[in-house]
Amino acid sequence: MINLNTEELTAIFRKYGLKLTTQRLAIFKLIISRKDHPTTEQIYEALKSDYPTISLGTIYKTLHLLQELGLIQELGFSEGKIRYDPNLEPHINMVCTKCGQVNDYEPKSLKPLWKDMVSKLNFEPTGQRIDLYYICDKCKKKE
């Protein structure tokens, strides 16, 4: 998980001649506060009460920018939506195959095992994505 404060973020933006606007800061803070990798729509819904004029376009542009800066990763799903994940470390995305909900899962045992696994490969990856499919409690109850 990235653990940047506002000053550090400002510094990164300044380095590239970018401006840290109210909207960008709000989007960034929201994304790092959540473990469910929201879609743009969900981010929009979450922010529009505090920022009534914010637009979906800005959200898309900002998220894409954050990914280019290496601060988050974009995860495509087969439902045809992109979700945004601020956690670049090896971790598990638990994906409900019924409702599509995603949640981070970070068992302590994962990282050493993962490191071990990756060390046995013949190349050095620049990142990773690990999804586990299951049916969440809510959806189980519905059945």
Partner DNA sequence: TTTCTTGCAAACACTTTGCATGCGG
Partner DNA sequence: CCGCATGCAAAGTGTTTGCAAGAAA
Which residues bind to a copy of itself, rule: CB under 8 A?
Answer: 74-82, 92, 97, 105, 107, 109-110, 113-114, 116-118, 120-121, 123-135
Instruction: Give the SS3 label for residue 108.
Output: coil
Nearest approach, Cβ of residue 127 and DNA (Å): 18
Interface residues with DNA (CB under 7 A) are 10, 13-14, 17-24, 39-41, 51, 53-58, 60-62, 64, 80-82
Nearest approach, Cβ of residue 120 and a copy of itself (Å): 5
Nearest approach, Cβ of residue 66 and a copy of itself (Å): 13
72 to 44, 123, 130, 131: CA distances (angstroms) = 17, 23, 15, 17
Q: How many CB atoms lie within 10 A of CB 20?
A: 15
Q: How many CB atoms lie within 10 A of CB 49?
A: 7
